Amino acid sequence: MDKTFQLGEITINRLGYGAMRITGDGIWGQPPDHNEAIAVLKRAVELGVNFIDTADAYGPEVSENLIREALHPYDGLVIATKGGMTRSGPNQWHASGSPEHIQEAIDASLQRLGLEQIYLYQLHRPDPAVPFEDSVKTFFQLQRQGKVKHVGLSNVSVQQLQQALALGPIVSVQNRYGLFDRGSEDVLQFCEQHSIMFIPWYPIGGSTGDYGEEILSKVAEKHGASTRTIALAWLLQHSPVMVPIPGTGSVAHLEDNMKAADIMLDANDITQLDRLAA
């Protein structure tokens, strides 16, 4: 299993970190423990993470600010962020994909992160009130302006990905996907065919009930690992374009997650886990 992925000019380790959970409850406001949030970010880098995913909507703004506080000037790191979403409260998310909003969002993210260019900027979610192509064209305009190095998408279908590719190069797709949640399998397969990085969000979530949990627990016990770690290990071995970004606000959980890169599931493990799709 290759532990790295070539993202443009930079080689990233395939187990990244998603910085959504370093905010408050409902992905809203400040974290309950500021020092722990900073410690998580620094420890992630110590453990080999060089790809960190965030968004202006996490907090909102809180995640990007914490990343700058903990990690700027980001030596050897790729800080990927997203635009195209607004917030109105805990767990309240609203697509906002107008060109005007995206132009304002990129400038604000650049300022918060302390960057002149964002290496990977992703459309957070298609906005049903805005033509999808208009949103995507704005991202390529930002690329031509030099504010963005590479463009990515999130929460898209194969058809939308094809539409975007007709407008310019897309290097990544971030969709919900995990051991128990494979609704984006067709998007993953398309990404494999076109060597596009696939970033599964909520990679450890979901369940298929007692049977699935029992199988997962048995595999975890066999490897002396947690079920979370096995779920991540399965993702890494499921596809060479997969770059999981498990998020946590706890150093202990982070350290457990990172063990996944060193677990090698055998053919029998894979067969059993492959059957657990909902």
For the chain, the DSSP string reads ---EEEETTEEEESS-EETTTTS-GGGBSS-S-HHHHHHHHHHHHHTT--EEE--TTTBTTHHHHHHHHHHTT-TT-EEEEEESEEEEETTEEEE---HHHHHHHHHHHHHHHT-SSEEEEEE-S--TTS-HHHHHHHHHHHHHTTSEEEEEEES--HHHHHHHHTTS---EEEEE-BTTB-TTHHHHHHHHHTT-EEEEESTT----HHHHHHHHHHHHHHHT--HHHHHHHHHHHH-TTB------S-HHHHHHHHGGGG----HHHHHHHHTT--
In this structure, the chain runs to a length of 278
Tokens encoding 160: 């939308």
Identify the active-site residue in 58, 119, 121, 177.
Answer: 58
The verdict on whether 211 is a catalytic residue reads no
Catalytic residue positions, numbered: 58
